[in-house]
A = this chain, B = another copy of it.
Amino acid sequence: MLLALCSSLLLALAAHATGAGWQEEIPPKFVFTQLQEDRSVQRFVANQSHSDHFKLLEQDGDFLLVGARNIVYNLSLHNLTEERRLEWPANPKDIHMCQLKGKTEMECQNYIRVLARKSNDTILVCGTNAFKPMCRQYKELANGTYLQTSEKPGEGLCPYDPNHNSTAIFAGPVKDRTAPSFVNSLHHEDYVYFFFRETAVEYINCGKIIYSRVARVCTKDKGGPHKFQNRWTSFLKARLNCSVPGEFPFYFNEIQSTSHIVEGVYNGGQRAQLVYAVFTTPSNSLSGSAVCAFRLEDILKTFDGHFKGQEDINANWLPVPVSKVPEPRPGQCVNDSRTLPEMTVNFIKDHSLMDQAVPAFWGQPVVLHTSFNYRFTYIAVDAEIETTNKNKYDVLFIGTDKGRVLKAFNAGSATASGGVVPVILEEMVVFPQGWAITNLLVHHSHRTARLIVVSHHEVASVPLHACETMAQSCAQCVALQDPYCAWDLKARVCTSSKSRMWQNTNFVQNVEEGWDKRCPGGNPYGTGSPPQRQPHHQIPTRHDGGGRGLGGTQGSGSLSVLDPGHPGAAGALPGTSKEFSHIYTAETLAIGVTTSIVTALVIGFISGYIFSRRCRNDEVDSPYDESHYLEQRGGAGGRLAMEPSLINHTEGFLPSNPTNKPINLVLNVPPKNGNGKNANSSADNKPIQKVKKIYL
């Protein structure tokens, strides 16, 4: 009987392992397959009978505005309970038309996708409205209810289908010039930065390929003189280089998401402003994901470098000689762009692309994942977490397309030599295998520090750390390597840095090595010497999982070892990798096995289903599509709000307000032309302008 159990176990594992992972990568130190048991996860599921296609619209202090099906929810960030709601079902007439077009009941609903605050008590909300996008203005009343003040068509401001990116829909007819996919925009000082991916024009003679870009526009850009009045005069773009170095570098070409701008101290004292970004390989490719960091300084330097140009249609794209660049240099911010000489404005029309790519800070990805089990979709950063030795680390939370969230940091970021020593602290199974993570948000309050995790079907809130639960001894606590956790020698507890009391010498922590001699017993896993440091990761040279053997692994006999994604973890070095385990009886084990088998079946089915869907509509149904939409985020230097200002096809630019710098932008949701073709077909100056819905 037990033999049969074993063999079932084997089969379950074998089936599980079809989604195996972290081969030749840093395995996560802890895998939480039963998150609920280990952490106080809060969940918000509005209605289990249908998918809400949740979309994070805005954080408003301790509240979260979430777009859903026919509703905007206002959730408390403390416990994810619904505080208020704004209901807006689709127009019955539009539902009727939608159904006449053969759409399903699911599609003929109003999914709220856009929310922009126009003033303290006025918001603009847009929804899919049964495939006929609409926008409404609401006034917030003192009693917490909303009063609708106006309604206008929302085409171009909101997608038609909650599953789809409108860019992708419109791009349909324009086969050879795919529309760019915007993943984020950030406002910083004089500029707005756009992060997107698009078909690489400079590569077109070598084949069709997607590159990732950062673009920059001056906030003061009022358009050019005369015929250029509807064009940005300062739009420049450059390639983002996220690659594994080598004689033949391996590029992660497709950006999926970025963090906000993070300011920190790196490489032993160097101040820098970084943007972390998630990249993947193309969908018709071997599966790989990476996180790279880009320094704002490097981005600016690239925009100060050579332009890229093509002598004629059959020439190579080469750096433009300085002598051929007009004065004033195109792309600079000026007080009134409408007075710029025509030559400067004309130059930028054909030369918006910079010659050099923006290099990744540290010259390589910070985190890599190269197996088929999942891809990265989203990133949020909790910046500058100070440790007891005064080093500060950026903690990265990385969402995947399979319900998992990684918590990681670069243990080499503080060293003077500067380097990449990735530590994957935790992997949390937040959602079922088939659910992609579409948004992440780190939320600190006086009460708690939590990560908001959003999928189409559910919003979850997970504590950023679980120091107390995860370690019961000094050595265990230090071995976590978690920047949030230190051992309190007096209280004898693994505590978190809520009040940043690390100054006190009573706290023991070593996130770089996971070992401290002040802990009794030193290394918690018995080798008696500090565990080896993880080597720098490079795909062809690293071999951590396989090369380590089983030597010091603690046989926990627990089901969390059963984690499907990370067989390598069990083979990791003693002290550097350990599953977070509970002790189970044989009975529990048997139940677990059965559960595993059933889960595998269900997951298999769901994956199969999703795959088949993805196959049918590869571009449009991609789980990453959600991230295409222009996110509304606070940059370091100001606040970037969406302000569609409704449809106005003639006006060019609204003057910016220099005092509080609100930049009102709607990008990436081009209006449908009369002929149904996409007006916004490339992320260069012209097509974006053509949208005529960008107001600065």
Q: Which residues of A contact B (CB under 8 A)?
A: 2-20, 22-24, 202-203, 205-210, 244, 246-250, 281-288, 311, 314-318, 370-373, 538-543, 545-551, 553, 555-558, 561-562, 567-571, 586, 589, 597, 600-601, 603-605, 607-608, 611-612, 614-615, 618-619
Shortest beta-carbon distance from A495 to chain B in Å: 32
Q: Which 8 residue pairs are nearest across A and B when measured between Cβ atoms?
A: A547-B608, A18-B545, A17-B567, A7-B557, A246-B284, A20-B20, A14-B570, A286-B286
Shortest beta-carbon distance from A145 to chain B in Å: 47
Q: 17 A-B contacts, Cβ less than 8 Å apart?
A: A4-B555, A9-B10, A10-B561, A15-B550, A17-B20, A17-B567, A18-B20, A18-B545, A18-B567, A18-B571, A206-B206, A247-B284, A248-B285, A281-B286, A286-B286, A541-B611, A543-B608
- Copy number in this complex? 2
Other-chain residue from B14, B286, B316, B539 in contact with A569 (beta carbon distance below 8 A): B14
B284 touches A567 (CB 8 A): no
Bound CA–CA A603/B14 (angstroms): 20
Bound CA–CA A466/B466 (angstroms): 56
B570 touches A250 (CB 8 A): no
A568 touches B18 (CB 8 A): yes
- A10: chain B residues within 8 A (beta carbon): 9, 13, 557, 561-562, 570
A557 touches B4 (CB 8 A): yes
Other-chain residue from B4, B11, B203, B586 in contact with A561 (beta carbon distance below 8 A): B11
Bound CA–CA A595/B281 (angstroms): 38
B12 touches A550 (CB 8 A): yes
A209 touches B248 (CB 8 A): yes
Closest to A370 in B: B286
With A17-B567, A571-B604, A618-B540 known to touch, is A555 a contact of B284 (CB < 8 Å)?
no
A547 touches B607 (CB 8 A): yes
Other-chain residue from B284, B316, B570, B619 in contact with A314 (beta carbon distance below 8 A): B316
Other-chain residue from B3, B13, B287 in contact with A586 (beta carbon distance below 8 A): B3
Bound CA–CA A571/B607 (angstroms): 14
- A318: chain B residues within 8 A (beta carbon): 314
Bound CA–CA A604/B331 (angstroms): 54
Shortest beta-carbon distance from A554 to chain B in Å: 9
Shortest beta-carbon distance from A26 to chain B in Å: 12
With A540-B615, A567-B17 known to touch, is A547 a contact of B604 (CB < 8 Å)?
yes
A9 touches B12 (CB 8 A): no
With A208-B248, A570-B11 known to touch, is A283 a contact of B540 (CB < 8 Å)?
yes
Bound CA–CA A244/B615 (angstroms): 14
A250 touches B608 (CB 8 A): no
Shortest beta-carbon distance from A476 to chain B in Å: 20
Closest to A19 in B: B546
A19 touches B14 (CB 8 A): no
Bound CA–CA A553/B8 (angstroms): 10
- A315: chain B residues within 8 A (beta carbon): 314-316
Closest to A566 in B: B14
Other-chain residue from B24, B210, B250 in contact with A282 (beta carbon distance below 8 A): B250
Give me 9 other A-B pairs in contact (C-beta within 8 A), A15-B546, A250-B282, A548-B604 excluded: A4-B557, A7-B557, A17-B568, A210-B248, A247-B618, A248-B285, A541-B611, A547-B608, A571-B604
B5 touches A6 (CB 8 A): yes
B23 touches A247 (CB 8 A): no
- A607: chain B residues within 8 A (beta carbon): 543, 546-547
Bound CA–CA A543/B605 (angstroms): 10
Shortest beta-carbon distance from A193 to chain B in Å: 25
Other-chain residue from B246, B247, B250, B542 in contact with A286 (beta carbon distance below 8 A): B250
Shortest beta-carbon distance from A282 to chain B in Å: 5
Shortest beta-carbon distance from A313 to chain B in Å: 9
Bound CA–CA A548/B600 (angstroms): 9
Bound CA–CA A202/B316 (angstroms): 11
Bound CA–CA A567/B12 (angstroms): 9
Closest to A13 in B: B13
- A618: chain B residues within 8 A (beta carbon): 247, 540
Shortest beta-carbon distance from A563 to chain B in Å: 9
Bound CA–CA A41/B656 (angstroms): 80
Closest to A281 in B: B286
A372 touches B371 (CB 8 A): yes
With A5-B6, A571-B600 known to touch, is A11 a contact of B553 (CB < 8 Å)?
yes
A550 touches B601 (CB 8 A): yes
A3 touches B589 (CB 8 A): yes
With A206-B206, A244-B284, A618-B540 known to touch, is A600 a contact of B372 (CB < 8 Å)?
no
